[in-house]
Structure 1
Amino acid sequence: MRTIGVFQASRWLLPLAAVALLAACGGAKQAAAPLPPPPLATLTVQPQQARREQSWDGVVEAVHQATMSAQTSGRVVELPFDVNDYVPAGAVIVRFTDVEQQSAQRRAQAALAAAQATYDEAQASYQRTAEIYARKLIAKAQLDQALARRDAARAALQSAQAALRESGQQLDYTVVRAPYSGIVTKRYVQVGEAVQPGQPLIAGVSLEELRVNVQVPQSAVDAIRRFHAADVLLDASGARRVPAAKVTVFPYADPDTHTFSVRLDLPQQETGLYPGMTVKTAFAVGEARRLLLPASALVQRSEVSGVYVIGADNGVSLRQVRLGHRFGEQVEILAGLAAGEKVAADPDAAALYLAKLHAAEAGR
């Protein structure tokens, strides 16, 4: 019986010893030192001053767009460019027949030569009369008549000179040149067609200078005037945006819609925008402190966004975050992070670090 008692006691003591050993191991695990810092570049999340924005749709339009009209009569003999063709500045876009204009210029030249001869004769006659009058050989009335003929001849000469300039201008009008480089959008005439002054010929736009016209509600106009800053968003996410070179707020509202027109001048750079397109615009209407992170620090898994967070024990974990507006290369963090936390600046490096760490633990 005594031997049985010892055996029974050992049956109870062994589990108790095992439990004590597990508890000791657990305590040792809890008391273990933090992991060494991971070899990762980190960013500390801190609130930053950023502007509050409101967005509206706008329409892209060309700063330089015009319809060229005829300034003289004639028949179209040359139309070098068609719709959608690129036209360099100064290129001939329409040429007319110039028979009438050439004839008018020759008549004006002949009239000018006759007027010049008449003036020269009147001037010489006046000088001779003045010399004779100085010797008291003729009456004052004869000198006055010579002076009047000289002045009339001078007026006729000036009129002939003006007529020659006008005929030259009319001749120049038979060749229509592009005032700036751009794209032909419409042709109103064809080769062989007779045109009259004022008739539309060809229309075009320049793609070098663009602007966006936006209709904004009157409740936002005061803030827009105060901050005078806006961006044009080039994609749906707002990651690509172009700051407006100039913001012009019209001083009056539309009486039907009660909205104000705001014009945003775009800088002269390649934006991928064309006249007639609709784009999103973001106007500064205030300021606020926001948690901002570079977009490069984010991890995108389908529709879920996250970041690799470096914990107080130097552990690395993937945490989901909720995003707000984009401000250039930075993204607003609405939820999931607190000020002072650290995140991995390179999510790919953080993912590789975790993969190596798990592989090492699996090997043990």
Structure 2
Amino acid sequence: MKAITLPLKSRPRWRAPLIGVVVLALAGGGWTVMNAQPKSPAAQPAAKAAPKDPVYELASADVTAISTRSLAVSLPLSGSLAPVAQATIRSKVSGEVHESGVREGTAVQAGQVLVRLDQADLKARLQQQQAMMDEAQAKLELARKNENNARTLLGQKYISQTNYDGMSNSVDLARASVKSASAMVEIARIALNDSVIRAPISGIVAKRHVQAGDKVAPDMPVYTIVSLNELTLEAQVPTTEIPRVKPGQEVHFKVDGFAGRDFTGKVARINPTTETGSRAMLVYISVANADGALRGGMFAKGSITTERSAEAPVVPLAALREENGKQFVYQIVDGKVVARPITIGLRNEDEGYVQVTEGVASGANIIIAKLEGVKPGAKVKMSTPAASTAQNKPASPVRG
């Protein structure tokens, strides 16, 4: 008999993957449970250290040391220089120029001879007037003798009183003639002296108007002399600024060609009226010029010091802080920032400084830069010692 073989029943194919998924799920759940359990103190990381306050490092440009000096406020000006003493010498008599050798640019002294005129006519006129005076004196002597004789005759009753009075009157007329002749002699002598023309002041010859051989007439200019010992700076100042200007105020200015030199002067006077066609007044500044460096006509540009404070601490305007209408600065004290309320006085916008009358003392270190995060109480350190930015120099002009 033939054996019959039955086929084996096949297993489902999805069982193997399902079993793998179940195993993974059980493993993941066990890991989660284990990690959910509290860890022992030994397993925990070390606690973090408490945060420290930051320390800001400041550069030398961020800090300045307060200095003490005088602060000034000025008013800008410009104008031309003119000599105080200037003389145009004119001839007082007519005549021919015999000598005129002093040239332009030559320094002369008061009394020095500049021009000599021909004196022949003037000497002859003097001699003529002298002769007329001699004649008048002779007539006076004769009139006096006649008067004396008449007085004797009048005493002896030989002449009348009328005759005597006539003789006496002749003496008066002769005396008057002598005085007139004497005056004419003096005029002739003065004319002769005037033929020699001298410098009335010491200075420098600016213009020679005549040459040898020229004919001159009375009141004709012959020389112009300028004294440079003292000059006047004439500057226009707006009428709105005139109340700030007072006689005696100090003036600093510079002149083209002397860029490295600072010249000084003082306000001498103020013109009471405005200049034609402008709303400005002339201010006259007296300038000493002992070395003769400055010349008439030079253009000057400078400023009038209208206000000057006493010696006091000054701080840069950049260092000022304001809150609720009060001014203060950030001062560095023992490595910390401290807000110091201050009282300010005179301020110079152009120079960038303000006077402090109360609140801080000279030598204190203050912060001038606006730094983010640097507030009162913040710790700071400086990379280099702070230096004072204020210099002892004339104040810059405050532009209006």
State the SS of the aligned residue for 1:272: coil
Alpha-carbon RMSD across the aligned residues, in angstroms, is: 4.3
Q: Which residue of 1 aligns with 2:262?
A: 240
* Alpha-carbon distance change, 239 to 206 in structure 1, aligned in 2, over 3 angstroms: closer
Give, in angstroms, the shift of residue 288 of structure 1.
Answer: 6.4
Whether contact under 8 Å (1:122, 1:146) holds in the other structure is: yes
Partner of 2:110: 89
What's the counterpart of residue 66 of structure 1? 87
Q: Are residues 75 and 311 of structure 1, via their aligned partners in 2, closer, same or farther at CA, if it must alter by over 3 Å?
A: farther
Of 202, 206, 225, the match for 2:227: 206
Q: In 2, distance between residues paired with 1:311 and 1:171?
A: 86
| C-alpha separation in 2, matches of 1:46 and 1:89 | 50
**Deviation for aligned residue 1:131:** 3.3
**Alpha carbons 2:72, 2:348 under 8 Å: kept:** no
Which residue number corresponds to residue 274 of structure 1? 295
Query: Which digits, 9 at most, give the CA deviation of each residue in 1:157-200, with x for residues without a partner?
Result: 11101100100111011111011111111111111111111221
> Could you list the per-position Cα deviations for residues 268-310 of structure 1 after superposition, in whole angstroms to 9, with x for gaps in the alignment?
63473211111124234456689777xxxxxxxxxxxxxxxx9
Q: Choose the corresponding residue for 1:162, options 175, 183, 191.
A: 183
Q: CA deviation at 1:112?
A: 0.9
Other structure's SS at 1:64 match:
strand
Gaps of 5+ in 1: 1-12, 31-41, 294-309, 315-322, 345-352, 355-364
Number of matched pairs: 291
Which residue of the partner structure matches residue 207 of structure 2? 186
Report which of the two structures shows the higher radius of gyration computed on alpha carbons: 2
Of Structure 1 and Structure 2, the greater helix share is in 1
Cα separation, 2, equivalents of 1:172 and 1:126 = 39
Distance 2:304 2:228 in 1: 24
Residue 152 of structure 1 pairs with residue 152 of structure 2: no
**Using the alignment, how far apart are the partners of 1:77 and 1:109 within structure 2?**
25
Instruction: Say whether 1:263 aligns with 2:284.
Output: yes
Q: Equivalents in 2 of 1:58, 1:292: separation in Å? A: 35
1:74-85 equivalence runs, <5 A:
74-85=95-106
Deviation by residue 1:191-240 (Cα, 9 ceiling, x = unmatched): 11111112211112011121111222222223324x65241424699983
Q: Which amino acid aligns with 2:162?
A: A
**Aligned with 2:135 (options 109, 114, 127):** 114
> Could you say which residue in structure 2 is the equivalent of 1:45?
67
In the TM superposition, 1:256-335 aligns within 5 A as 256-267=277-288, 269-270=290-291, 272-286=293-307, 333=353
Asked if the contact 2:229/2:288 (under 8 Å) is kept, the reply is no
Q: Quick one: structure 1 residues 53 and 73, their matched pair in 2 at CA, closer, same or farther if it must change by over 3 Å?
A: same
CA contact (8 A) 1:76 1:194 kept: yes
Amino acid across the alignment from 1:198: D
Partners of 1:121 and 1:84 lie apart in 2 by 60
1:131 aligns with 2:131: no
> CA separation in 2, counterparts of 1:47 and 1:98?
68
Gap change, CA 1:44 and 1:108, over 3 Å in 2: same
State, as a whole percentage, how many aligned pairs show the same letter.
24
Q: CA deviation at 1:143?
A: 1.2
Distance 2:104 2:95 in 1: 22
1:28-82 per-position Cα deviation (integer Å, ceiling 9, x unaligned) = xx9xxxxxxxxxxx9852475x453212112111111121111111111111210
- Cα distance in 2 for partners of 1:235, 1:255 equals 26
